[in-house]
Amino acid sequence: MQPMQHQMMGYDRAITMFSPDGRLLQVEYAKKTVRLGNTAIGMVCQDGVLLVTDKRLVDKLVVPEAIEKIWQVDDHIIATGAGILSDARILVERAQEKATGYRITYDSPIDILSIVKDLCNLKQYCTQSGGLRPFGVSILMAGKDESGLKLFQTDPTGLFYQYKATVIGEGETVVEEILHKEYKDSLTIDQGLKICINALKKAIDGKDFTAERIDAAIVKKDGMMRKIKQSEIDKYVKG
C-alpha cells in the first residue's frame, strides 16, 4: 500500500494506529524531521570523545555566539541533536535533572547509559500513547564514565545504539560515507576534529561555510568537558 493511500485512509492521524503493513506513520514522519535537521557528528577518539555540529545560521544579523547546539549535561557528559531542537532542549533538561539528582543522592557522577535509557523510555512512551506525538529529534550523547569513553545515538522511536562514530541530520549520507572511510580507533581529537569539519564542509557545500557556523565540544579522558574555541576550528576550516 502506497504512503498516499495510507494518508487517505487515516492511518497517519493517530500515533497509536498501525497501518495494515505494520507501520506507525507518525513515527516515520518524526524520523524524516530528523533527516531535515542540522548535521551533527559524534566521534570517539583515542584521547576523548568529540561532538561537532552545524549551527545553521539563517540570518546574517543573528549573533553566532548566542546559538548553542551542544549542551552540557554534566561535567562528564555532552549532548547535541538534529530535528526539532525545542524537543531536544526538553530532553536535555530532563537529562540534566537526572544527572544532578544522581550526584546529590550518591555523591558520584551518573553513567551515560542510565541517562540514555531514561530519555529513550520517554521517547518510546510517546509512540504508544494517545494524544501525544513522538519527539521529532535524535540525540547524540557523549562522555566519559567508569567504563570509558562513550557515544550513543537515540532516535524518535526510543531505540538507542552505541557508536564509535556517527552522524545525524541532513548531511547524514555524505558524512557517513566519509566516516566509514576515514575513521580509526587510533585517531586523536585533533585528527578527529579535522575529519568532522572537512565532512561538514562537503555536506553543506556552501560558500558561506565559516568557523562561526560550527559548534564543537569534547570530553577528554580526565572526564571534563570543554567547548572548542573558534580559533581552533578556524584553522581546519581554512586548511
- Buried (b) or exposed (e) across 215-236, using 16+ Cβ within 10 A? bbbbbbeebebeebebeebeeb
- The whole-number pLDDT of residue 8 equals 45
Cell of 19: 497501518
- The whole-number pLDDT of residue 239 equals 67
Count Cα neighbours of 191 within 13 Å in the Cβ-side half-sphere: 13
Domain 23-59+68-232 has CATH 3.60.20.10: yes
CB atoms within 10 A of CB 175: 26
Spatial separation of the C-alpha atoms in residues 49 and 78, rounded to whole Å: 9
Domain boundaries, the chain: 23-59+68-232
Spatial separation of the C-alpha atoms in residues 239 and 236, rounded to whole Å: 5
Among 88, 47, 95, residue whose Cα is nearest residue 70: 88
Query: What does R_g of the chain's alpha carbons equal in angstroms?
Result: 18
Spatial separation of the C-alpha atoms in residues 192 and 175, rounded to whole Å: 13
- The whole-number pLDDT of residue 75 equals 94
pLDDT along the chain (239 residues), means of 10: 56 80 89 95 97 88 87 97 96 97 96 97 93 94 95 97 97 96 96 95 79 93 92 84
- The whole-number pLDDT of residue 4 equals 55
The neighbouring-strand residues paired with 160 are 154
Spatial separation of the C-alpha atoms in residues 217 and 223, rounded to whole Å: 13
Secondary structure percentages of the chain, helix, strand, coil, to 5: 40, 25, 35
- The whole-number pLDDT of residue 206 equals 64
Phi, psi of 124 (to 5 degrees): -65, -40
